[in-house]
Amino acid sequence: MKKSLETTKLFYDRYLYKVSVKNSLSSIFRDKNLSFAKHELGKLQYQHDNENYPLNLVKGLRQVHISYEDFFHAKFLLNEFEKQSDYKLRVEYPTIRIYSNDEIWISKLENASMDVIDIYRPKNINVLTKNTILIDDFPYEFKITLRDRVDPMFANWVKVNRDKIKIGDKALECVETNGYCRGFYFFIKNEKILQLVNLMINGSIARIDKIISNAVIDK
């Protein structure tokens, strides 16, 4: 069953909408190589026109059975992609994730009788901008994502300021042991603490996101 979910953070710092479609031909759209996708669909079209069933797509040393439904839906997607310019695709077989800022187009894909897994829409497009995250009832104002390594001395400050920062045990251990911290993150209370943290580990910060409470937006 399709899930309708809220976009709480821009996808790839750019897109408001995402729709995920399950299709056994999803891999032909990898890297947005539409010429390759057209070529592969052309081979399947030849099989279809010559009444060769089941349809088969060659992948390496094996053949993958393709249903007529997936074939027709893949042709529909190719046609749609060729008409668009600003969109992104991410393929994780058998799912293709489509990102866009065109709500009408995303709704068209959602309602095209394909096997749609989920669709994300924002509640308020005016609030959701780059480097912002919407979270319900969260007592922290900033999310800090780390680079490769952090000065281990920062761990000492964290331990005596637990009321100002929220960090996971593994992330703290990584900082404390001068480990590889890329991708770890923590939350801090307010802008004043952000300035202090910036002074301590500025070179180790990969990203700063502003957290906005939905409760504040709804007032």
Of residues 195 and 136, the one with the higher pLDDT is 195
Domain stop point among 121, 156, 180 = 121
| pLDDT tens, residue by residue, 144-181 | 999 999 999 999 999 999 999 999 999 999 999 999 99
Q: Which of 7-16, 39-48, 49-58 has the lowest mean pLDDT?
A: 49-58
* Inside any domain, residue 49: yes
Q: How many domains does the chain divide into?
A: 2
What pTM did the predictor assign?
0.87
The residue from 54, 88, 121 where one domain ends is 121
Q: Which domain holds residue 83?
A: 3-121
183 token code pair: 């991708």
Q: Residues 50, 116: one domain?
A: yes
Is residue 127 in some structural domain?
A: no
Q: Strand locations in the chain, DSSP E?
A: 3-6, 17-22, 55-59, 62-66, 87-92, 95-100, 116-121, 132-135, 142-146, 165-167, 185-188, 205-213
| pLDDT tens digits, one per residue of 180-208 | 999 999 999 999 999 999 999 999 999 99
Last residue of a domain, one of 92, 121, 150: 121
Residues 115 and 16 both lie in one domain: yes
pLDDT in tens, 88-113: 999 999 999 999 999 999 999 999 99
**What average pLDDT does this structure show over 13-24?**
97
**Separation between Cα atoms, residue 154 and residue 24, nearest integer Å:** 48
